[in-house]
Amino acid sequence: MDKISVSDKLDYMPVLPEDKSLGIGCVGSGFIMADCHLVAYKSVGFNPVAIMSADHQQAKEAAERHGIAGVYDNLEEMLANPKIEIIDIAVPPDVEIEIVREVVKYKSKIKGILAQKPMGCNYSEAKEIVGLCADAGITLGVNQNMRYDQSIRACKSVLDRGYLGEPVLATIDMRAIPHWMGWQERLGFVTLRTMSIHHLDAFRFLFGEPIRVYASVSKDPRTAKNFDHFDGICLYILEYENGFRAAAWDDVWAGPAREGAESDIYIKWRVEGVDGMAKGTIGWPKYPERTPSTIDFTTKHEQGKWFRPRWDEVWFPDAFVGPMAQLLCAVESGDVPEISGVDNLKTMALIDACYKSAKEHRAVEISEITG
């Protein structure tokens, strides 16, 4: 076998479309849209031309902040705007399917939809969303934005170049306190469909499809004071047919850091292979402080050396360029988006398998969800 030439110049940035002029209609005007999507789009020259929300004042404020001409509180009126060819959805998951049902009525003019994750409330709804878009001939991408976190992207580059050899074990250790959204109380779920979905999708992106999962959950004492829930602190193990294992512990309690104790907040990941090892951090827990994620890796192909590439970009908001870029590239080329609806069905099935596993206290085959 030829010696591998090792470099710390990794591929971690998204590919951008040649044509950035397609008009984007934005559905939703909350934090994710106003502080992440639109900030990221402006940084690379994408073209949001309209925004709508049930909260008209909030939509107006977002439009003024980002220089968007069209402001609507009615989806049908916005969809009639002739400048709109792409729909960007950032609404609670129980609302998303109704939005898609309306958008596909405009299939003669709408070329693409970027659906927020989770894509609906469960695998069944996600499958319907995929079917609606397929029947309408509309390209569907999903905003699984952790795939575009710079360290996750860099890890994929390290794996693809063979620096680590065959993967043996991967772990994610999250000790962070998210800001929960009001709709989560309404829907009754907390961590698996909002935080763990990032990690489960990242495992799929890096290592492919597991055959089964074992999940164990408990309530988060802090969140339990505000509303009852099932999936607070979440632990899970993914089993792959070739013996590879991936595991994460998503600890949203993270100690009494809001109740008077010192905090120790972080997200760390680690990948071990037969030829090398990579480890990294995710900078998101320190938002709004700009904190780039990191990667360090070592390989037997360069013995005794650590590679530590660094960059200025951050997950929130910079990585939100990626999900829209991959959709626009697919519309431009006629290819399937990198994070297509069909691909994301596998993440949604994995999430449902985690819920089933936690409720039934057993390992669950992914095929039990997908049939």
Domains of the chain and any CATH numbers? 23-145+322-339 (3.40.50.720), 150-314+348-370 (3.30.360.10)
List Cα–Cα distances, 121 to 9, 48, 222, 224, in angstroms: 39, 27, 24, 21
Give the separation between CA 252 and CA 345, rounded to whole angstroms. Answer: 25
How far, in Å, CA of 252 to CA of 265, rounded? Answer: 10
How do residues 198-218 score in pLDDT, each as one tens digit?
A: 999 999 999 999 999 999 999
Q: Is the torsion defined by CA of 96, 102, 108, 109 positive or negative?
A: negative
**How many other CB atoms are found less than 10 A from the CB of residue 74?**
11
Q: Report the predicted TM-score, pTM, of the whole model to 2 decimal places.
A: 0.96
pLDDT tens column, 291-324: 999 999 999 999 889 999 999 999 999 999 999 9
DSSP 307: B
pLDDT of residue 1: 43
Short-list 58, 13, 19, 72, CA closest to 40: 13
Provide the β-strand partners of residue 296: 279
pLDDT per residue, tens digit, the chain (371 aa), is 457 889 999 999 999 999 999 999 999 999 999 999 999 999 999 999 999 999 999 999 999 999 999 999 999 999 999 999 999 999 999 999 999 999 999 999 999 999 999 999 999 999 999 999 999 999 999 999 999 999 999 999 999 999 999 999 999 999 999 999 989 999 988 999 999 999 999 999 999 999 999 999 999 999 999 999 999 999 999 999 999 999 999 999 999 999 999 999 999 999 999 999 999 999 999 999 999 999 999 999 998 899 999 999 999 999 999 999 999 999 999 999 999 999 999 999 999 999 999 999 999 999 999 99
Distance CA 29, CA 46 (A): 17
